[in-house]
Amino acid sequence: MTRKFFGLDIPIIQAPMAGGITTPELVATVSNTGALGSLGAGYMEPAEIRIAIRKIKSLTSKPFNVNLFIPEHSNSTYDSSLIHKLLLPLWHELSDVPLDTIALTPPSFDDQVQVILEEQVPIFSFTFGIPSPSLIKRFKMQDSLIFGTATTPEEAEALANIAVDAIVCQGQEAGGHRGNFSSHDPLYSLLTLLLLTGKKVKIPLIAAGGIMDGCSALATFLVGASAAQLGTAFLTTTESGASSSYKQALLKTPHMATALTKAFTGKTARAIINPFIQKLEGHVIPPYPIQHFITHRLRSLAAQKNRPDLMSLWAGQGYPLCRHIGAATLVHEIAKEIAKYTS
């Protein structure tokens, strides 16, 4: 190992992944190895977050991370009738009941934060923006570490200015949503992002995007990262809450490319290209989170009915290297791979 990251024995972070993937069992299992587990709580109601944190604490005494989405403002009057028309035939492939237009709202960010503060977590992290200085202050008063997410050196600088403790540098290879929060997004690849960011900020950098093994983690350490955050690699672990149809799609379709798309949620995210994405290509997509709520029922039902063609198959570019093993084994294998090149 090249360097020690906030006392971790293994400088590997299991990425926060919202949507039920980062089960308390996954988070605690990873933390128990000496790496860092993360709860993706962005879509969770405050009461669910409290239960999950308590469960994690019952399973590990090691540090873990809880992650939220910084809220974005969207135009709630957006006309979504065209998107509905497009989705209707897809929905009727799955169900006979009407596709209703019930407006769902995201959980209250302030209430989510309140619960996390009350439960006192070792690390709080966030993506999609910059929280207020007062929020940072409240976590610091409890001695929680704070990690922000950046996709450009300028975003990293803005995060360093509000005194976060470390910055997740998310390259364009990464699976799931891009954490960018400025209008400028040159889609930096991970190594370039680390190199350029290292010139601008002097706090620890966490590498994220396309890291699937010890060798790729090590490459990021060589260009300045202090730890590597892996999302996709943990999706297919035993403890991951990803549906079995999602896990199967990752493990069994290694030749489909991924793409950055707004088709599922209205926010740019990387997923395996499938007919759902192809059907919406070229159409105007409502902004996040409106599109997320419009497509949510369809995607959930598709997962239940094992229809990967209609699911959001979030995946980083390295997904063909996913391993179907336990999370602790994955961390140990990666640590061994790193050691092979450093000893």
Ligand X SMILES: Cc1cc2nc3c(=O)[nH]c(=O)nc-3n(C[C@H](O)[C@H](O)[C@H](O)COP(=O)(O)O)c2cc1C
Judged by beta carbon, residue 37 or residue 231, the one nearer ligand X is 231
The answer to the question of residue 37 lying near ligand X (CB under 6 A) is no
Q: In this structure, what token pair is assigned to residue 153? A: 């050196």
DSSP 133-156: HHHHHHHHHTT-EEEEEESSHHHH
The answer to the question of residue 210 lying near ligand X (CB under 6 A) is yes
Taking CB under 6 A as the criterion, the residue among 173, 197, 292, 302 binding ligand X is 173
The answer to the question of residue 232 lying near ligand X (CB under 6 A) is yes
- Min dist CB 261 to ligand X, Å, is 13
Number of H-type helices and E-type strands within the chain: 13, 11
Judged by beta carbon, residue 150 or residue 290, the one nearer ligand X is 150
- Min dist CB 278 to ligand X, Å, is 20
Rounded CA-CA distance 125/253 in Å is 32
Residue 319 DSSP symbol: G
CB atoms within 10 A of CB 337: 16
Rounded CA-CA distance 61/139 in Å is 19
Taking CB under 6 A as the criterion, the residue among 39, 211, 313, 331 binding ligand X is 211
- Min dist CB 216 to ligand X, Å, is 9
The answer to the question of residue 164 lying near ligand X (CB under 6 A) is no
168 close to 148: Cβ distance less than 8 angstroms:
yes
Residue identified by tokens 């600088």 is: 157
Judged by beta carbon, residue 101 or residue 182, the one nearer ligand X is 182
- Min dist CB 96 to ligand X, Å, is 30
Judged by beta carbon, residue 80 or residue 238, the one nearer ligand X is 238
71 close to 63: Cβ distance less than 8 angstroms:
no
Q: Tell me which residues in 255-274 interact with ligand X (CB under 6 A).
A: none
Using CB under 6 A as the criterion, what x/- string covers residues 110-149 for binding ligand X? -----------------x---------------------x
- Min dist CB 314 to ligand X, Å, is 4
Judged by beta carbon, residue 99 or residue 223, the one nearer ligand X is 223
Judged by beta carbon, residue 80 or residue 192, the one nearer ligand X is 192
- Min dist CB 222 to ligand X, Å, is 18
The answer to the question of residue 237 lying near ligand X (CB under 6 A) is no
Judged by beta carbon, residue 46 or residue 179, the one nearer ligand X is 179
Judged by beta carbon, residue 99 or residue 251, the one nearer ligand X is 251
Rounded CA-CA distance 286/48 in Å is 28
Rounded CA-CA distance 238/307 in Å is 21
The answer to the question of residue 230 lying near ligand X (CB under 6 A) is yes
Pairing mode of beta strands 227-230, 205-208 = parallel
Q: In this structure, what token pair is assigned to residue 42? A: 């962005």
b or e along 297-323 (b: 16 or more beta carbons within 10 Å of the residue's beta carbon)?
Answer: bbbebbbeeebbebbbbbbbbbbeebb
Cα–Cα nearest to 167, from 134, 138, 136, 203: 203
- Min dist CB 126 to ligand X, Å, is 7
Q: In this structure, what token pair is assigned to residue 195? A: 């190199």
The answer to the question of residue 208 lying near ligand X (CB under 6 A) is yes
Taking CB under 6 A as the criterion, the residue among 14, 33, 67, 216 binding ligand X is 67
- Per the DSSP assignment, residues forming a β-bridge with 98 are none
134 close to 177: Cβ distance less than 8 angstroms:
no
Q: For the chain, how big is the Rg over CA atoms in Å?
A: 19
- Min dist CB 95 to ligand X, Å, is 24
* Site of interaction with ligand X (CB under 6 A): 15-18, 21, 40, 42, 67, 127, 149, 170, 173-176, 179, 208-211, 229-233, 314, 316, 318
